[in-house]
């Protein structure tokens, strides 16, 4: 018996922070079940780094024909690894690719699946895990009753926990089925922090008046190493790309720090950013609902506060470099 | 071209979420139910295929009789017929099994769904339906074109998008981009009148075991009050020393 984690890597073979988070989480569940942790990787180049987070055994698939993500093929590899390792729990990151492949794995293993889990199981028998529901307005405690359980982990909900073990990496050669889905082209902005990966997100709303005023938002984001985001009307008005729209009907944000500038704090906006750990609001209107949801707030005009904040942070960075 | 659109029936985005019976039941008191927002994009795209490419559109919901107004709304928007599988939607896997049964009997070329329901945020039904039927599947779809037997699909990826192609039949889990928000169809008077005459068939579920269940709910812990800060010096100081996020 074992717990199997799938740790995704980038097309360059590097792990993201969230791969270490799912590994840490898997280690904890393996301890709860008094069993071993096995981590599956595909074309990863730094498998040793997973030993730091409790991976006793790493199964690495290295295949040149697997350089781009394919949900069905990856799901089939995860299934084969789960069977080989007699996995009772399979853990997959609830990120955009993980959410794509996990339901396929669940059907292939005839397993119950709980996505967006936020804690370790409160009990392993019955197997019950707390997960996000109602677009971050609540949680449900979900019991999985099948022999194999699939758990999707929500970003930044467990954290990266060091737990050095002496691990080994084995080559794994599963059967690779041909995919029927052809990738025609990929458009990706490189060098920019994405909302999904960011530890800090700087977000602007209609209070910024127009697209020409986003220079200071981008500058603030650059200093903080943050991703930029916006409220829904801002992307609807075409001030910012749709990919930056966050909220209940946009992208979810689960960063450590979320800075909202000129955003009123409508329920649909807050639903998408609730899981961010620390929230800062900057708004001229002290009555704006965002102040009820935020940890820190400045009542003030963004056009004064943001340039000052940029200057202050430059100073701070220089002193703390 | 035959299209099946999966419609989940969910609390409106402005709903206050409450639970009853010692936090074991969702409290639907005063809650307005709507077509799941992501499914609205799917439905509107289906209507486009109906108008431009002669598709017929069936909508399906797995749920009890209380979901019928939502299905009627989908008919008023322009779907040709509706099917309700008469069982409580508890487990995504079981819901997917029911949808795949409906699909098997209907011979659909395209199954359109949303990327997640905004109530349980499972994000699992479409991928499961596709796998049960052994159809191609694309998640987080932001564009779909059909030509003959071929589908061309844009999918959102981290920090961008990719263009994919494959043959029908296919299951698509969509979101904004499939159509633009301003193009979302809303029922007009004529649609509402016509919907009354369109078939809404109720079928009984296949015998289905539940793989997951919810035993209780929780609300997020009450937040401490927002600290109002007078100037940016203090803010930077607090973010560094107290919140430890910079
Ligand atoms: C079905 C549905 C789904 C939705 N989904 C989403 C979603 O996913 N995400 C989302 O964001 N919204 C969503 N909305 C829209 C949401 O209800 C709000 O309309 C929206 O979030 C408001 O955006 P805003 O805060 O940028 O603009 P506004 O509400 O116009 O607020 C602007 C704010 O800026 C402040 N301000 C003005 N000038 C300044 C200044 N100089 N300096 C500082 N502050 C200033 C104002 O005091 C005000 O609080 C949805 C709505 C519906 C009906
Ligand atoms: N009870 C249901 N009846 C019909 N379709 C559903 C149902 N539940 C989910 N779906 C479809 O599956 C998508 C994803 O839902 P979920 O997996 O529940 O997050 C939804 O957007 C719907 O298109």
On the question of pLDDT at B46 being above 90, the answer is yes
Region A137-149: mean pLDDT is 97
The C-alpha angle A95, A101, A106, rounded to 5 degrees, equals 115
Q: CATH class for domain B2-217? A: alpha beta
Rounded CA separation A179/A72 (Å): 7
* pLDDT value at residue A170: 97
Residue B165's pLDDT is 97
What pLDDT is attached to residue A116?
A: 98
The CATH number that domain A200-319 falls under is 3.40.50.1220
Checking if the pLDDT of A30 tops 80, the result is yes
Whether A66 has a pLDDT exceeding 90, the answer reads: no
Is A194's pLDDT higher than 80?
yes
- Per-residue HEC secondary structure of A188-246 comes to ECCCCCCCCCCCEEEEECHHHCCHHHHHHHHHHHHHHCCEEEECHHHHHCCCCCHHHEE
Select the residue of B128, B166, B217 nearest A106 (Cβ to Cβ).
B128
Task: In chain A, list all ranges with CATH 3.40.50.620.
Answer: 2-171
B177 at interface of A, judged by CB pairs closer than 8 A: yes
Instruction: Report the distance separating Cα B100 and Cα B96, nearest Å.
Output: 6
Q: Which atom of ligand 2 is found nearest the CA of B36?
A: 21
CATH dotted code for A2-171: 3.40.50.620
Instruction: Return the SS3 of B145.
Output: strand
Copy the structure tokens of residue B52: 């431009």
Closest CB from A94, A112, A281 relative to B211: A112
**Residue-wise pLDDT tens digits, A214-241:** 999 999 999 999 999 999 999 999 999 9
Residues A68-71: contacts with CB under 8 Å, at least 24 apart? A68/A11, A68/A183, A68/A186, A69/A97, A69/B157, A70/A179, A70/A181, A70/A183, A71/A97, A71/A100, A71/A101, A71/A104, A71/B127, A71/B137, A71/B139
Residues with beta carbon inside 6 Å of ligand 2?
Answer: B 6-8, 36, 38-39, 60-63, 89, 92, 95, 113-114, 116-117, 120-126
* Alpha carbon distances (Å) from B109 to A53, B4, B170: 45, 8, 7
8 Å CB contact of A309 and B210: no
Check whether B216 has a pLDDT greater than 90. yes
Where does the pLDDT of residue A192 fall: very low under 50, low under 70, confident under 90, or very high at 90 and above?
confident
Tell me where in chain A the CATH 3.40.50.1220 domain(s) lie. 200-319
**B211: nearest CA partner in chain A:** A112
The pLDDT assigned to A188 comes to 85
| pLDDT at residue A189 in the model | 80
Distance in Å, alpha carbon of A210 to nearest chain B alpha carbon? 20
Q: Where are the domains positioned within chain B? A: 2-217
pLDDT band at B148 (very low <50, low <70, confident <90, very high): very high
B243 contacts A257? CB cut-off 8 A: yes
Range with the poorest average pLDDT among A185-194, A243-252, A275-284: A185-194
**pLDDT tens profile B69-123:** 999 999 999 999 999 999 999 999 999 999 999 999 999 999 999 999 999 999 9
A321 has a pLDDT exceeding 80: no
Residue among A184, A188, A249 minimizing CB distance to B176: A249
ipTM confidence score: 0.95
Q: Looking up tokens 């043959």, which residue turns up?
A: B167
pLDDT of residue A64: 80
Mean pLDDT of chain A: 96
Contacts with B224 from chain A: Cβ below 8 Å: 295
Q: Given a cut of 90, is residue B58 above it in pLDDT? A: yes
Partner-chain residue, chosen from A134, A181, A277, that has the shortest CB–CB distance to B164:
A181
Mean pLDDT on B8-21: 95
Candidate of B84, B113, B132 to mutate for ligand 2, largest count of ligand atoms within 8 Å of Cβ: B113
User: Does B213 sit within 8 Å of A133, measured CB to CB?
Assistant: no
Spatial distance between the Cα atoms of A74 and A272, rounded to a whole number of angstroms: 28
Residue B237 Cα to ligand 2 middle (Å): 46
Q: Which residue of A has its CA nearest to B160?
A: A188
Torsion angles phi and psi, residue B147, rounded to 5: -135, 115
State how far the Cα of A153 lies from the Cα of A25, in Å rounded to an integer: 8
Assign A191 a pLDDT band (cuts: 50, 70, 90).
confident
* Protein residues whose CB sits closer than 6 Å to any atom of ligand 1: A 205-207, 231-234, 247-250, 262-264, 266, 268-269, 272, 282-285, 288, 301-303; B 13, 37
pTM exceeding 0.90: yes
A-contacting residues in B 45-74 (Cβ below 8 Å): none
Ligand 2 geometric centre to CA of A304 (Å)? 46
Ligand 2 atom having least distance to the Cα of B60: 4
A206 alpha carbon, closest ligand:
1
B211 and A144 within 8 Å at the Cβ level: the answer is yes
């Amino acid at each position: 018996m074992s717990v199997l984690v799938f740790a995704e890597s980038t097309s360059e073979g590097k792990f993201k922070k969230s791969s270490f988070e799912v590994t840490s989480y898997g280690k904890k569940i393996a301890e709860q079940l008094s069993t071993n942790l096995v981590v599956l990787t595909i074309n990863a180049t730094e498998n040793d780094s997973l030993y730091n987070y409790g991976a006793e055994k790493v199964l690495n698939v290295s295949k040149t024909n697997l350089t781009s993500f394919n949900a069905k093929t990856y799901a089939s590899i995860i299934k084969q690894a789960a069977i080989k390792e007699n996995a009772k729990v399979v853990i997959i990151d609830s990120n955009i690719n993980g959410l794509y492949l996990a339901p396929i794995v669940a059907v292939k293993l005839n397993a119950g699946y709980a996505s967006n889990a936020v804690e370790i199981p409160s009990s392993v028998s019955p197997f019950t895990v707390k997960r996000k529901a109602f677009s971050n307005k609540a949680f449900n405690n979900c019991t999985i009753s099948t022999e194999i359980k699939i758990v999707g982990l929500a970003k930044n909900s467990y954290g990266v926990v060091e737990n050095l073990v002496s691990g080994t990496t084995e080559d794994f050669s599963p059967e690779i089925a041909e995919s029927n889905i052809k990738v025609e082209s990929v458009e990706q902005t490189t060098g920019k922090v994405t909302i999904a990966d960011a530890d800090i997100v700087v977000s602007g709303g209609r209070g910024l008046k127009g697209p020409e005023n986003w220079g200071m938002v981008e500058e603030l984001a650059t200093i903080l190493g943050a991703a930029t985001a916006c409220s829904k009307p801002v992307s609807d008005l075409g001030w910012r790309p749709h990919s930056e729209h966050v909220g209940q009907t946009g992208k979810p944000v689960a960063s450590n720090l979320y800075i909202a500038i000129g955003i009123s704090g409508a329920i649909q906006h807050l639903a998408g950013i609730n899981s961010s750990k620390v929230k800062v609001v900057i708004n001229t209107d002290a009555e704006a609902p965002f102040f009820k949801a935020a940890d820190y707030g400045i009542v003030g005009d963004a056009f004064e506060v943001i340039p000052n904040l940029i200057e202050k942070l430059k100073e701070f960075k220089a002193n703390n470099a | 071209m035959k299209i099946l659109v999966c419609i989940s029936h969910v609390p409106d985005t402005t709903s206050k979420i409450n639970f009853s019976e010692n936090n074991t039941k969702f409290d639907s008191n005063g809650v307005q139910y709507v077509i799941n927002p992501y499914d609205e994009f799917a439905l509107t795209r289906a209507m486009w295929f109906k108008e431009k490419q002669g598709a017929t559109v069936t909508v399906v919901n797995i749920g009890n009789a209380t979901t019928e107004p939502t299905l009627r709304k989908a008919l008023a928007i322009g779907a040709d017929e509706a099917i309700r599988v008469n069982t409580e939607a508890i487990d995504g896997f079981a819901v997917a099994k029911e949808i795949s049964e409906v699909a098997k009997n209907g011979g659909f070329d395209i199954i359109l769904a949303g990327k997640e329901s905004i109530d349980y945020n499972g994000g699992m039904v479409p991928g499961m339906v596709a796998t049960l039927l052994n159809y191609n599947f694309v998640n987080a779809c932001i564009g779909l074109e059909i030509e003959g037997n071929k589908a061309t699909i844009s999918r959102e990826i981290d920090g961008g998008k990719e263009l994919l192609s494959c043959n029908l039949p296919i299951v698509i889990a969509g979101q904004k981009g499939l159509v633009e928000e301003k193009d979302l169809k809303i029922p007009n008077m004529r649609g509402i009148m016509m919907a009354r005459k369109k078939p809404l068939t109720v079928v009984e579920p296949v015998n289905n075991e539940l793989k997951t269940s919810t035993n209780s709910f929780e609300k997020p812990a009450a937040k401490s009050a927002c600290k109002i800060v007078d100037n940016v010096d203090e803010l930077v100081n607090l973010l560094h020393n107290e919140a430890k996020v910079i």
